[in-house]
Amino acid sequence: MAPPPPQRKNPSRGPAVTGGNGRPPRRMASRDAAERAAFFARREAAAVLRRVLRGDATRRSAGSIKSLVYSPTVRNKRATFALVCQTLKYLPILKEVLGSSGVLNSKWKKQEELVVVTAYDILFGQGTAVSGSAEQLILANKDILSSALDRICAKRKVSSVEDLVGQKTAVKPKPRFLRVNTLKTTAESVIEELSKIHMVYKDDMVPDMLVLPPGTDLHSHPLVTNGKVFLQGKASCMVAVALNPKPGWKVIDACAAPGNKTVHLAALMNGEGSIIACELNKERAKTLQHTVRRSGANNIQTVNGDFLDIDSKDPSYAEVRAILLDPSCSGSGISTERLDYLLPSHSRDDQDDASTSSRVMKLSAFQKKALSHALSFPSVARVVYSTCSIHQAENEDVVNAVLPLATSLGFELATPFPQWHRRGLPVFEGSEHLLRTDPEDDLEGFFIALFVRKAANGGVEEPSEDVAVEVPRKVSRRRHGLRTFSSLRLSRMILCSNRVLW
């Protein structure tokens, strides 16, 4: 265990020591500042932990651990991130210790996350504490908690707390990818600034993507905070580039939050045309709004509503030319980067075959419905379906199920980034057009399918000029049903990018 927290000197032992100007020595001021910083970091960590645990319990998370910590509302991001991750790592032990000692009584149950975070920090972390109700609770019961911890170790016949915690999956270091926001600056300008302190070079496949060494932390860099660059993975950026919307087009981002792909679309369109960005979850819609504001894009309308509620035959959407569909998925391709192995649900998931779990099957059913709906818009020429999942049920199986409908509507599968080596699983004819990325490529696990509508003359409508796309090939034909939805409620919810609906 960590050494006990430093104790304040007893004032009765003598007068306080002061500097020549009557102020406490710098060391004392520094200690007080550290204690205050730890005090507030615990409260920020408790707020994030509450959202993480509730989202994990209901499987309706408002975001990953990282995205919640690095949201605009968290001020001390580095300390908060460390506290949340470490508390989750020790969470089963902390709950057992607090439960067996009786410290976490009904009075503190409503502040359980704060008590747990504080218990971790004082028992296993820095041990720095100031006057605060949760801090005083843990300090007053520290001996009781330590005894409970010793009993647990003895019962399980281990010599240290680390043996109780066990090994957690480590994140393999990956390059740090940056997407330059061309609405505000240029890649050359960003390279010139970053190369003063970092090794940086351009990616050879994704336009305006820069690569830096693993572990490079730029979350507080002015280029990031002012929206000139976005900390966005290469695989994620490949999605918008595959859609390749033209300046002046009307585009829908069907499941838009947190908005990185949305604002990437705006940059690819040079800020021209219009983008309707839909997000059903209210909290995630707030994040989407923040991302749009930070990007400086003025051609994005945000919608706190369901993409499936749009009537594709409504005249308001008759000019939609491209749709990006990145729907809710299991996130299995980014689970390590998301730090999902720290979540309580992770051990439960390991007991079953996650790829065929009931949750994945429900997600797959929704994804098929959403993709069918995207293909039903009368003027849409390009549809990208993407997930951050590695499961066939959410990827190839979805595309294969919708192919008969796509064919009947004049769509064929095209091949985004034909130079990319990793394609779809060979489970149906035409899967070679699909694209997969994998951690073996130093990327997240993503999946991309590009549907392109054939023109009346038999060619492909609006062929890509910036990204090589192979000519679509033959696909199988079967009939498939289609359901349309009323647009009245959703049409009233469309917002300008500088407004908020709630």
Q: Which residues are annotated as a binding site for S-adenosyl-L-methionine?
A: 255-261, 279, 306, 326
- For tokens 């915690």, the residue is 165
- Catalytic option among 237, 278, 329, 388: 388
Query: Does the N-terminal peptide bond of residue 315 adopt cis geometry, omega within 30 degrees of 0?
Result: no
What distance in Å separates the CA atoms of residue 30 and residue 35, rounded to the nearest whole number?
9
Q: How far is the CA of 76 from the CAs of 45, 222, 224, 284, 434, in angstroms?
A: 9, 16, 16, 21, 41
Q: If DSSP codes are grouped into helix, strand and coil, which group holds residue 300?
A: strand
Q: What angle do CA 47, 49, 51 make, to 5 degrees?
A: 75
388 classed as catalytic: yes
* Beta-carbon-side half-sphere exposure of residue 369 (alpha carbons within 13 Å): 15
Spell out the residues 6+ positions from residue 401 whose beta carbon is closer than 8 angstroms to its own.
368, 480
Length of the chain: 502
Residue by residue, what is the 3-state secondary structure of 435-475?
A: EECCHHHCCCCCEEEEEEEECCCCCECCCCCCCCEECCCCC
Closest to 121 measured CA to CA, from 144, 145, 148: 145
**Residues in the annotated binding site:** 255-261, 279, 306, 326
Instruction: Give CB contacts under 8 A, 24+ apart, made by 169-174.
Output: 169/336, 169/341, 171/336, 171/337, 171/339, 172/336, 172/439, 173/214, 173/215, 174/214, 174/337, 174/439, 174/442, 174/443
Are 435 and 416 in contact by the 8 Å Cβ rule? The answer is yes
- For tokens 């073996």, the residue is 440
- In sequence order, the β-bridge partners of residue 180 are 229
At 416, give phi and psi (nearest 5°). Answer: -70, 140
List residues with catalytic annotation. 388
